[in-house]
Amino acid sequence: MKYLDDLKELFEETFAEKLSKTENVRADGSNRAIIRLISLERSVIGVWGPDKKENRAFVEFSKHFKSADLNVPEIYAYDEKKQIYLETDLGNQTLFDFLVRKRDSSGFDEELKNYYKKALKHLSLFQTKGLNKFDLNWCYPRKEFDEQSMMWDLNYFKYYFLKLGGIAFDEDKLEDDYKKFVEFIKDANRNFFLYRDFQSRNIMVKDNDLFFIDYQGGRRGFLAYDVAALLYDAKADIPHNIRLELLDYYLGLPEIKKVITREEFLKYYYMFVYIRIMQAMGAYGLRGFYERKPHFLTSVPYVIKNIEWLLANVELPVKMPELLKVFKRITTSTYLRQFSDKNKRLGLNLRIYSFSYRKGFPPDPEGHNGGFVFDTRCLINPGRIPELSHLTGRDDKIKEFLDSDADVKRYYHNCRLIIEQAVENYLKRNFTELYVAFGCTGGQHRSVYMAEKLFNDFSKKENVTCHLNHTVLGINK
């Protein structure tokens, strides 16, 4: 590999120091060679890239951003002819690495949340300062994220993910939806720097600060795209409530408030969430299905989880029926859900409800329209006993009363067996949502008792997160 000799020579010429050792650095989906070069005095990163225009973009962007006091690596030396350059060694810890360690020990806590807020603050500076005195001729492969770029992303998704992933679609109808999609989002303000791949693996954590890499695909473009890239980064698996909190933080940043209103941003935001997700899925399909690198496909179940939430909670401003059918087919594909990390499952949200038949079934907020509804009106009713009627299924006297009844025990046992079978199956298949509801006449005694009992039993199960909603009592756990 000649580039190793070239990097060694460039290092020793630049620093007048003898190189003592080298280390390979992970490059994820890149075709570049990234090498740590170490002498007695220093450690730097050496890069060989097969694409001269991409190399030039990164080098020139880095110089520009460094002059604007943005947290990027310094370029120490660049040999365009040999396609190599030397840059700051920012260490080995990405924001994604930090996230995984923190989440395994303490969940998505305040420290982690603050790192994400710091990332969004830095992003706002890239977006608003990035184009000042910026030469768009450095951009590669395109100067702006225009209609052609959007269609490339959409077709990337179609050809590398849908076709190779076995998802059926009507090509004419899907193309019609693509045209409507692009026609709508092209009107958003695009006079900002678009980082293009602003996700947790391209953010380095060093000395309690964040530094940024892999912006060589940057160009003039939209604010929302990069926010979507960070918050819907698949394996980062940011909880939805925290995503919304982080989005609210970003929209309140002074740099952002100066250039766009909340209403204008949100008008287009979820369209950019979808196009970013489609671009990422195209990349997973290219690397995973086409290039046979299976670890890229381990992100797919996490993407499906994001799509499920979007389908259930977001109404897009443009009607795109074929595209929505495609997304629904993706979420119901057992084949696509199988690509999880070995021995690692996404985990199942078991959503348990108690309700009154007088008021109707509780809606399924995740939009799956499946699961189980158990009618407990066939059981003895403590509400008919005067001294118990004012209590609820959460009270000890009601529990003791129902625990003593053989029919109640048998009913709960049968319900539990059915639910256990479904839970085990869903965990194996990487399905992430299961809806279970217990109903009775008033939604106060029997249904509450059953829901509480199920919640307590299944909360102990590994990889199962239980959520409890007593709809009549107005109590949530």
238 three-class SS:
coil
Domain extent at residue 50:
2-88
Residue 78 belongs to domain with CATH number: 3.30.200.20
Is the domain of 393 the same as that of 431?
yes
Is 323 within 8 Å of 330 (Cβ atoms)? no
Q: Residue 280 is which amino acid?
A: A
> Does the pTM of the predicted model rise above 0.85?
no
Is the domain of 189 the same as that of 55?
no
Is the domain of 74 the same as that of 122?
no
Is the domain of 379 the same as that of 472?
yes
pLDDT at 428 over 80: yes
Tell me whether residue 398 is in a domain: yes
- For 356-401, the pLDDT digits (tens) are 999 998 988 766 667 999 999 999 999 999 999 999 999 999 999 9
User: Considering only CA atoms, which of 258, 184, 254, 256 is closest in space to residue 227?
Assistant: 256
Is the domain of 259 the same as that of 357?
no
The residue among 302, 337, 372 that closes a domain is: 337
Distance CA 159, CA 165 (A): 9
Phi, psi (degrees; rounded to nearest 5) at 119: -60, -40
Distance CA 473, CA 272 (A): 39
Percent of the chain scored above 90 by pLDDT?
A: 88
Q: Residue 99 is which amino acid?
A: L
The residue among 293, 310, 337 that closes a domain is: 337
Is the domain of 298 the same as that of 442?
no
- For 111-144, the pLDDT digits (tens) are 999 999 999 999 999 999 999 999 999 999 999 9
Residue 178 belongs to domain with CATH number: 3.90.1200.10
Is the domain of 312 the same as that of 359?
no
Task: Look at the alpha carbons of 297, 99, 433, 364 in this order and tell me if their dihedral is positive or negative.
Answer: negative
Is the domain of 176 the same as that of 291?
yes
Is the domain of 373 the same as that of 329?
no
Our count of domains for the chain comes to 3
The residue among 313, 337, 361 that closes a domain is: 337
Is the domain of 359 the same as that of 374?
yes
| 43-47, 48-52, 300-304, 337-341, range with the lowest pLDDT | 337-341
Distance CA 34, CA 24 (A): 6
